[in-house]
């Protein structure tokens, strides 16, 4: 699906400008980090949220850069926590360099984002973004505290999903709305859209971690499970009478001894994958419903397309073992 025009080149150019230090030890790390960029979903959401109403294009560009830097910082730090060796199809910063360098690089990205936000006189934007980062950190801590807890509830899962992912999606939409002249009621609706989209995105990502291969993901598959992160499909399967006890036995074993093909089969046969997919669809439908009161326009239409894009792009990566063969599942 082709997405609505987004000034990605301008955002990347500005990102490189604000990260330029002239320091010969730092520059190669930044160059390497920026070699591989994602789809920039969060800055794209911010850009679209600002688009329906009059706005300062340079401020919007800088806020797009800021939220992407915050996202990158969280990924760099996450890879240290998770001991991940790859990110976006290439070596992670901690793998290519070391953990100390990764932590400091993430700190540099956060500081650069704050400095950029401070260049624009909009105090509540800084307040919103810093409170969002606080939530993101709390979500990571909660996830660590729940590691390998096979009795985790769905409520706990949604709480950490909000803090880890959905809150930054919502924040991106809220900030984009604020820096335009959008009425507050509409800004709240866009924040809801971002929130529900973020929940759906996290659930899909968690499904993929369990059933997709590393090549499709661009990062190690099964890393969440390796770190003891019990996600929605597992929570569902653990509660089933037919598979719950067997799954507990499998998950209690050392990860290096885990039969991933058996695990995938259980998640499929128990209905856990389909359950998680259905929940992600419900969140996507809620996201779309949040846009219904807006007049039809290019930006709002594109926000609807992003929900469909997430469904098409990420479900197309789903793969699992069925009768001994790798089968692609495209919804």
Is 2 contained in some domain? no
Total structural domains within the chain: 1
Q: 87, 218 in Cβ contact below 8 A? A: yes
Is 309 contained in some domain? yes
Is 157 contained in some domain? yes
Is 204 contained in some domain? yes
Is 298 contained in some domain? yes
Does pTM surpass 0.75? yes
What CATH code is carried by the domain that includes residue 290?
A: 1.10.600.10
Task: Return the pLDDT at 219.
Answer: 62
- What is the residue-wise DSSP string for 224-239? HHHTT---HHHHHHHT
Q: 3-class SS at 276?
A: helix
**What distance in Å separates the CA atoms of residue 320 and residue 81, rounded to the nearest whole number?**
27
How far from chain centre, in Å, is Cα 134? 16
Neighbouring-strand partners of residue 325: 322
Task: Return the pLDDT at 214.
Answer: 66
Per-residue pLDDT of the chain (331 residues; tens, 9 = 90+): 455 678 999 999 999 999 999 999 999 999 999 988 778 999 999 999 999 899 999 999 999 999 999 999 999 999 999 888 888 778 999 999 999 999 999 999 999 999 999 999 889 999 999 999 999 999 999 999 999 999 999 999 999 999 999 999 999 999 999 999 899 999 999 999 999 999 999 999 999 989 877 666 666 677 788 888 999 999 999 999 999 999 999 888 776 677 788 899 999 999 999 999 999 999 999 999 999 988 888 999 999 999 888 877 766 666 443 433 333 333 3
Is 3 contained in some domain? no
Q: 116, 66 in Cβ contact below 8 A? A: yes
Is 178 contained in some domain? yes
318: part of which helix (H) or strand (E)? Answer: none
**What distance in Å separates the CA atoms of residue 204 and residue 207, rounded to the nearest whole number?**
5
Domain extent for 233 = 8-328
**What distance in Å separates the CA atoms of residue 270 and residue 106, rounded to the nearest whole number?**
40
| Structure token digits, residue 187 | 């800004």
Give 169-205 as a 3 state SS string.
HHHHHHHHHHCECCCHHHHHHHHHHHHHHHHHHHHHH
- Integer CA distances (angstroms), 231 to 28, 172, 212, 225, in order: 36, 25, 15, 8
Is 165 contained in some domain? yes
Backbone angles phi, psi at 91, to 5 degrees: -55, 140
**What distance in Å separates the CA atoms of residue 252 and residue 260, rounded to the nearest whole number?**
14
């Amino acid at each position: 699906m082709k997405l609505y025009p987004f000034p990605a080149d301008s955002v990347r150019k500005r990102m490189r400008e604000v990260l330029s230090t002239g320091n010969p030890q730092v520059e190669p790390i930044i160059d390497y980090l920026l070699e591989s960029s994602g789809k920039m979903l969060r800055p794209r959401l911010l850009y679209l949220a600002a688009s329906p109403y009059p706005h300062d294009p340079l401020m919007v560009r800088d806020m797009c850069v800021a939220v992407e830097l915050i996202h990158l910082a969280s990924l760099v730090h996450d890879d240290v926590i998770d001991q991940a060796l790859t990110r976006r199809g290439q070596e992670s910063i901690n793998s290519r360099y070391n953990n100390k360098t990764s932590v400091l690089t993430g700190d540099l990205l956060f500081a650069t984002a704050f400095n950029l936000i401070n260049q624009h006189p909009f105090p509540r934007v800084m307040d919103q973004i810093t409170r969002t980062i606080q939530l993101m950190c709390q979500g990571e801590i909660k996830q660590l505290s729940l590691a390998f807890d096979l009795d985790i509830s769905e409520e706990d899962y949604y709480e950490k999903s909000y803090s880890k992912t959905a809150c930054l999606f919502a924040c991106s939409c809220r900030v984009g709305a604020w820096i335009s002249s959008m009425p507050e009621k509409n800004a709240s609706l866009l924040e809801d859209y971002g929130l529900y989209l973020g929940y759906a995105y996290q659930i899909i990502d968690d499904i993929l971690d369990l059933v997709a291969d590393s090549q499709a993901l661009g990062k190690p598959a099964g890393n969440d499970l390796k770190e003891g992160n019990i996600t929605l499909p597992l929570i569902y399967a653990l509660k089933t009478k037919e598979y719950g006890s067997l799954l507990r036995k499998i998950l209690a074993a050392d990860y290096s001894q885990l039969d991933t093909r058996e695990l995938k089969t259980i998640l499929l046969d128990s209905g856990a994958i389909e359950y998680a997919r259905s929940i992600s669809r419900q969140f996507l439908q809620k996201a779309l419903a949040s846009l219904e009161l807006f007049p039809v326009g290019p930006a709002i239409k594109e926000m609807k397309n992003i929900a469909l894009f997430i469904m098409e792009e990420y479900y197309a990566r789903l793969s699992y073992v069925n009768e001994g063969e790798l089968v692609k599942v495209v919804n």
